[in-house]
Amino acid sequence: MSKVGGALPAWYWPEGIPRRSPVPQQTLDRLIKRAGRDTSAPAIVWKDRAVSYGELLEKVTSYAQAVHGLLPDDEVVAIFERDPGDALILTLAVIQTGRRALLPDLDAPTERIVAQVSQAGATAALTTGGVTPPADLSVLTRDELDAYDGEKPKLRPVKATAPALIIPAGEELAVHSNYSLAAMSVALTAFIPDLKSFSAVSPPPLWNWEALTFALCPLLNGAPLLAAGLDELSSVEGFDPLKSYTVLLREDGDRLAGGSKPPAVLRDLHYVFVSTPYFVPNWRRGVEASRGREVLPIWGTAAFGPAVGAHPTWFPFDAHGIPLVNVRVLPVDPGSGQPSLVPWEMLESAEIGVESPGLMTGFVREGAANELLSGKILRTHISASVDHVGVVVFHKPPKHKAAA
């Protein structure tokens, strides 16, 4: 039974869905420009304002030129912003300069935020003014970026596979390129093509890999990102719940599975994805009972984004999802960390290893010659077995770590 494409019965694959979908090796600003050919179409919409695709690209380029003029080259720049729309604009601006952007976990204790900034080697920060960065960082506010009147040179081309974005991965950090970030969006939209035209409702804070994936997904497909909370959507111009989707974190799903009453709008959204670090029998059904409609579980890590998800046509097994495209799931010998030469079907259990174009992990700090472990197998440290129809069953929650 082939495991190419992921963990699923070899005899099943949704009609019309490719097992492999090409990921363009272009930068995010170029991909957004290509997707937003209608420059007047809304790109990011808040309850009280909006930017079109043309305005978004103009603002990102303007901020990138200001960052280039005000900060030294090769800095890691931390984004201290809670609003997902504003955070995304600032992040895209940093990436466009060829610098690396860090999205620290602003919900973490202060000492943890400081540790993330130190671990990433960040020396500067961007903010709209709502969050105060650590005192030892050079800080640029949005007002300062808007007011910049210095030299605005043409920005140098950025290599799509070069390090671009750093996000928290538990106690570690994961690094992504423009290419690996685009791969996350390609996986989602290849598997559920509706998402190419649907609005994405403001996800959890952008430093979560789930939020990052779902915030980029509409912008890379010419659709709008609604940067508003669930309780604000009724006041967002053009909001149509039947053509919108969102993602919930595991703790949100746990609350719903426990019987918590969801916001009314959550019942109306066409798709609701729920992130889960591992699968628990009947958990999905509990979430669905609370929402009153189906939910789509996804599983992944900060290092490679969504790896396993549930297609809306496939729910025969309550405890499991099926994989997204562009993912190869391999059995790994837990002792050596190397891919097993013995196939899944002949193993009582093995550790799950993952190959994906979204996989870029292993951030190495100052003095290292190579900052990426790319093209490697990601060790999930999850023990698994294969049941009688070929579905991989997870045995314990994951830890994020890359194979040497």
241-293 pLDDT per residue, tens: 999 999 999 899 999 988 888 888 999 999 999 988 766 767 888 898 999 98
Q: Identity (one letter) of the amino acid at 235?
A: S
Which pLDDT score is estimated for 385? 76
Q: Is residue 14 part of a domain?
A: no
Least confident of 54-68, 119-133, 145-159, 333-347: 333-347
Q: Identity (one letter) of the amino acid at 269?
A: L
Evaluate whether 387 touches 393 at the Cβ level (below 8 Å).
yes
Q: Average pLDDT of the chain? A: 82
Least confident of 137-146, 281-290, 391-400: 391-400
Q: Which residue has the tokens 């363009």?
A: 24
18 vs 291, more confident: 291
pLDDT band for 43, please (50, 70, 90 cuts). very high
Domain count for the chain, please give it.
Answer: 1
d(CA 112, CA 106): 9
Letter string b/e over residues 10-20, b meaning 16 or more CB atoms within 10 A of that residue's CB:
eeebeeebebe
Which pLDDT score is estimated for 272? 93
Least confident of 52-66, 134-148, 179-193, 388-402: 388-402
Q: Is residue 11 part of a domain?
A: no
d(CA 217, CA 224): 9
Cα 354 to chain center, whole Å? 16
Q: Which two tokens stand for residue 326?
A: 């562009």
d(CA 226, CA 67): 26
d(CA 93, CA 66): 9
Torsion from C-alpha of 111, 112, 114, 120, nearest 10 degrees: 160
Which pLDDT score is estimated for 243? 94
d(CA 196, CA 36): 12
Is pLDDT of 398 > 80? no
pLDDT band for 310, please (50, 70, 90 cuts). low
Q: Is residue 32 part of a domain?
A: yes
Which pLDDT score is estimated for 81? 96
Which pLDDT score is estimated for 394? 67
Least confident of 15-19, 28-32, 299-303: 15-19
Which pLDDT score is estimated for 244? 95
Is pLDDT of 344 > 90? no
Q: Which residue has the tokens 């504003």?
A: 86
Tell me the average pLDDT across 28-55. Answer: 95
155 vs 62, more confident: 62
Q: Is residue 344 part of a domain?
A: yes
What does the longest C-alpha to C-alpha distance in the chain come to? 66
Q: Which residue has the tokens 């081309």?
A: 157
Is pLDDT of 373 > 60? no
d(CA 327, CA 277): 17
108-120 pLDDT per residue, tens: 999 999 999 998 9
Which pLDDT score is estimated for 276? 80
Q: Is 32 helix (H, G, I), strand (E, B) or coil?
A: helix
Q: Is residue 17 part of a domain?
A: no
The residues, ordered by sequence, that sit 6+ positions from 370 with a Cβ below 8 Å of its Cβ are 364
Q: Is residue 157 part of a domain?
A: yes
CATH label of the domain that carries residue 46: 3.40.50.12780
pLDDT band for 154, please (50, 70, 90 cuts). confident
Q: Is residue 22 part of a domain?
A: no
Tell me the average pLDDT across 182-204. Answer: 87
Which pLDDT score is estimated for 331? 85
d(CA 284, CA 291): 11
Q: What percent of the chain has pLDDT over 70?
A: 79
Q: Is residue 303 part of a domain?
A: yes
Helices (H), 71-200: 84-96, 110-120, 142-147, 178-191
d(CA 100, CA 74): 8
Give the residue numbers spanning the domain of 34. Answer: 28-402
Q: Where are the beta strands (DSSP E) in 9-121?
A: 42-45, 50-52, 76-79, 100-102
Which pLDDT score is estimated for 356? 72
Which pLDDT score is estimated for 72? 85
Is pLDDT of 79 > 50? yes
Which pLDDT score is estimated for 246? 94
